Structure 1
Amino acid sequence: MVAKIGIGPDSWGVWFPDEPGQVQWQDFLDQVVAAGYEWIEAGPFGYLPTDPTVIRDELNSRGLNIIATTVMDGHLENPDDWPRIEKRTLEAGEFGASMDAKYLVLIDDVYLDLHSGERICSSALENDSWNRLIDSVNRVATITKEKFGIPLTIHPNAETHIETESHLELILEQTDPDLVSLCVDTGHLAYTGGDPVSFIRNHHNRVSYLHLKDIDGQILEDVRTNNLPMVRATEMGVFREPPGGLVDFKELADVLNDIGYGGWATVEQDMYKPALDVPFAIAKRTREYLKEVGMG
């Protein structure tokens, strides 16, 4: 079996719904098609038009489909953030259901500011705070399933409270497998010291979705040596296109074949404010490379 390969706005440096200098959504869709993809993630809620009629016509005219919507709108352990998280879950869930999305991806908010790299809150949670995080995950999962019939998948992200293999293992232990699965991001897991290929092999029964990116090992070493935030690391190119980085994509393709993975995998070449002529070439090369290694 092979994965169904998509790509997201993140591969064009889109981190926010609206930011000066980022690629216009129409150009993003056109370049996705030209690079050889048929599936996309919606990206930050509001980047693509949220009127289902408008975006459906735009997608249909290009032969594109949406894999997932994303919620990354608050710290899951913070009760004060819950109203915002719930509101965005309802918005993203309704939009995803109207687009026949396969997943809703939940990401905890960052503890270092995405613009400045300055600290927002502690990087570690006490037991009570972690338990509140788990409660929020379960509440979001219940909403997405009961209201929209969309599975929830948890995405590990560097500089959040769900970033390491140990965090993901706790998520697996403390959540209902009928409600919560994992979206393993190969780059973010490697960035935080994990082995994404082994993790997928060992926990494949709870892995429903993948984000694909590679890591430049030398840049990562410099980032760790100098204690740099992820926004600076991204500007330096720590997230790189495959192959040649820390993630063995040929081994990953073998593992996916061994476990019979036939789900979706989204290319996410994390960049921040790249030159507008850079992302397309990377997206096209990555699509061809994934075909070469038999991933999809």
Structure 2
Amino acid sequence: MGNNKILLAIAPIGWTNDDLPELGGDIPFEQCVSEMALAGFRGCEVGNKYPKDTNILKKALELRNLSICNAWFSTYLTTLPYEEVEKAFIKHCDFLHTMGATIVGVAEQGNSIQGRQDLPVFDAKPHFSEHQWQQVTQGLNRLGKVALSKGLRLTYHHHMGTGVQTTEEINRLMESTDPDLVGLLYDSGHIAFSGEDPMDTLHTWFPRIRHVHLKDVRKERRNLAIQEKWSFLKGVKKGVFTVPGDGCIDFKPIFTELKDRGYSGWWVVEAEQDPAEANPLTYAMKARKYILDNAGI
């Protein structure tokens, strides 16, 4: 695979969307993972259609030479008691550890609007109070210790429509958390959608980056999202996101920086689209070819 420290995975969200069940609702789990393998990927993240029984899931993935690399976890550190969040987190970590993953990706969903279809993603974006920043950063440090005890490393997923979306907010989160306990899940698409340069975060926080999401943005759709005040999920449905090489992001310097600075771990193609408009296998193969042609991986 060229650089054997970098492994390629793809997220199931291009086939079936957990937040928008109508997108890919008819596509079965078996088709999803079979097409991931057919497109040339060796890992995947987890979707709601995946079997919850780890023995069944392992068998299905081993048949296709696939591995689980991560699964999203929603924290509610600003809206729920910490103990309640930790209890759910432990169960989530146990699942990932059993599946052989070493990373757990989390995002604070207290007051998040990413799932609200009635609110514009830019105008209604939440902003943490000083107290909420303390709740999030201190809570993440505690969860990071829990993750380590389970053989996992916590990585924070900055995300549109949440309190950690902008470069400034990513910087504050990283500066306010323990580097041994909290890493960064670097997502090119969310930084670009927010209107900022993905290279800035990559330069600044490379030592903390433990997981990578490769996602492109269609500039004209992003402009419409701002002008017409789309919600985050309307943006997804309207095709704001796409796979690397199909949008406005220049991935070549991103690939070069990650490789030259010795990144080790997973690169995950994660581009949520309407599968009725963007055939998942076609786009998975397009992404795989683009990464091979431009990163040699």
Q: TM-score, normalised by structure 1?
A: 0.90
> For residue 160 of structure 1, what is the aligned residue in structure 2?
162
1:128 counterpart = 2:131: yes
Deviation at 1:119, TM superposition (A): 8.0
> For residue 286 of structure 2, what is the aligned residue in structure 1?
285
Deviation at 1:198, TM superposition (A): 2.9
AA matched with 2:172: L
Deviation at 1:17, TM superposition (A): 10
Cα-to-partner distance string for 1:111-165 (whole Å, 9 max, x where unaligned)? 226252348987112101111111221222121112x110000001100111111
Q: What secondary structure sits across from 1:29 in the alignment?
A: helix
Structure 1 residues 277, 149: CA separation in 2 closer, same or farther (over 3 Å shift)?
Answer: same
Q: What secondary structure sits across from 1:293 in the alignment?
A: helix
> For residue 94 of structure 2, what is the aligned residue in structure 1?
94
AA matched with 1:141: G
Deviation at 1:79, TM superposition (A): 3.0
> For residue 36 of structure 1, what is the aligned residue in structure 2?
40
Q: What secondary structure sits across from 1:76 in the alignment?
A: coil
1:177 counterpart = 2:179: yes
Cα-to-partner distance string for 1:43-97 (whole Å, 9 max, x where unaligned)? 3xx431121211111111111111112202x4331235x4553233122101111
Kept after mapping to 2: 8 A contact 1:3/1:295:
no
AA matched with 1:96: L
| 1:212 equivalent among 211, 214, 218 | 214
AA matched with 2:290: Y
Kept after mapping to 2: 8 A contact 1:11/1:267:
no
Deviates more, 1:46-55 or 1:216-225: 46-55
Deviation at 1:225, TM superposition (A): 1.8
Deviation at 1:22, TM superposition (A): 4.7
Moved over 4 A (4+): 16-20, 119-122
Deviates more, 1:182-191 or 1:11-20: 11-20
Q: What secondary structure sits across from 1:193 in the alignment?
A: coil
Q: What secondary structure sits across from 2:186 in the alignment?
A: strand
Q: Please list, as runs of the form range in 1=range in 2, the aligned pairs for 1:11-26 lying within 5 A after superposition.
A: 11-16=14-19, 21-26=25-30
Q: Structure 2 CA distance, aligned partners of 1:47 and 1:194?
A: 33
> For residue 12 of structure 2, what is the aligned residue in structure 1?
9
Structure 1 residues 57, 157: CA separation in 2 closer, same or farther (over 3 Å shift)?
Answer: same
Structure 1 residues 295, 134: CA separation in 2 closer, same or farther (over 3 Å shift)?
Answer: farther
Q: Structure 1 CA distance, aligned partners of 2:242 and 2:114?
A: 22
> For residue 31 of structure 2, what is the aligned residue in structure 1?
27
Structure 1 residues 119, 195: CA separation in 2 closer, same or farther (over 3 Å shift)?
Answer: closer
Cα-to-partner distance string for 1:215-249 (whole Å, 9 max, x where unaligned)? 11111112112222111111111102232523211
Q: Please list, as runs of the form range in 1=range in 2, the aligned pairs for 1:78-117 lying within 5 A after superposition.
A: 78-80=79-81, 82=82, 84-109=84-109, 111-112=112-113, 114=115, 116-117=117-118
Deviation at 1:189, TM superposition (A): 1.0
Structure 1 residues 3, 279: CA separation in 2 closer, same or farther (over 3 Å shift)?
Answer: same
> For residue 50 of structure 2, what is the aligned residue in structure 1?
48
Q: What secondary structure sits across from 1:5 in the alignment?
A: strand
AA matched with 1:93: C
Kept after mapping to 2: 8 A contact 1:215/1:245:
yes
Kept after mapping to 1: 8 A contact 2:214/2:244:
no
Q: Please list, as runs of the form range in 1=range in 2, the aligned pairs for 1:227-238 lying within 5 A after superposition.
A: 227-238=229-240
> For residue 76 of structure 1, what is the aligned residue in structure 2?
77
List runs of 5+ in structure 1 lacking aligned partners: none
Kept after mapping to 1: 8 A contact 2:70/2:104:
yes
Deviates more, 1:10-19 or 1:277-286: 10-19
Structure 1 residues 28, 199: CA separation in 2 closer, same or farther (over 3 Å shift)?
Answer: same
List runs of 5+ in structure 2 lacking aligned partners: none
RMSD between aligned alpha carbons?
A: 2.3
1:143 counterpart = 2:146: yes
Q: Structure 2 CA distance, aligned partners of 1:240 and 1:247?
A: 10
> For residue 68 of structure 2, what is the aligned residue in structure 1?
66
Q: TM-score, normalised by structure 2?
A: 0.90
Q: Structure 2 CA distance, aligned partners of 1:241 and 1:85?
A: 32
Deviation at 1:178, TM superposition (A): 0.8
Q: Please list, as runs of the form range in 1=range in 2, the aligned pairs for 1:237-248 lying within 5 A after superposition.
A: 237-248=239-250
Kept after mapping to 2: 8 A contact 1:187/1:239:
yes
Q: What secondary structure sits across from 1:93 in the alignment?
A: helix
Kept after mapping to 2: 8 A contact 1:216/1:239:
yes
